[in-house]
Amino acid sequence: MTPELTSYLSKWFNTATKRKAAQGTTVVLTIEEFHSMFNKSQLIRLERAIVQGKLQSMQSRTNESALVLTWVSYKACSANKFNADTACVVSRRKSRTINKIAKGDKMRASHVKNMGRAVSKALTGVAKAEEHKAGISNSMIGKNAGRVQSAAEKEKRSQAAKERHAKARAAKELLK
């Protein structure tokens, strides 16, 4: 490893671990463990970019092939402990795919909170099949969709409505 690459990796390690710690993640990762996460082709690629003066463009935030230090899975991220077992170095594109929720993963609170809005937005304007509508209808049988009113509340509302209608009729009669 060239001194330039070692220097770059050290800066990357310091920045990444500080960022994770600031996010409230427990970081238990040494610089040696960080170096061991890179495979040979990744190190060669970084060294070549440094020599050619293309490291900045290669590692830019818009480059999907840029290498990133990330979690190995959604489940690992949920554990909130960043170490050699839960971290990896992959392309930005790969990071997006491995950090999606998988079958059996427990959703984080931040994802659960936004889930209802996302599902609602995604389904807005989507027509439902007749059998789907029937299923929804059947599932609602026997369930009260609104607030249950006592007999006294109903009577009170009825009297208020009768008074309103009587006033409206009286006002109409005056206009004639």
pLDDT digits (tens, 9 = 90+) for 134-159: 998 888 887 777 778 889 999 999 99
Average pLDDT on 72-101 reads 83
Q: Where are the domains of the chain?
A: 3-109
CA 125 to chain centre: 23
Q: What is the pTM of this model?
A: 0.56
Query: pLDDT-based confidence at 125, cuts 50/70/90?
Result: confident
Asked if 34 and 69 touch (Cβ cutoff 8 Å), the reply is yes
Judged against a pLDDT cut of 80, whether residue 84 lies above it is answered with yes
Average pLDDT, stretch 11-30?
88
Helices then strands, counting H and E runs in the chain, come out as 9, 4
Each residue of 31-66: pLDDT tens digit?
888 888 888 998 998 888 888 888 888 888 888 888
**Cα(170)–Cα(175) distance, integer angstroms:** 9
Asked if pLDDT for residue 73 goes beyond 90, the answer is no
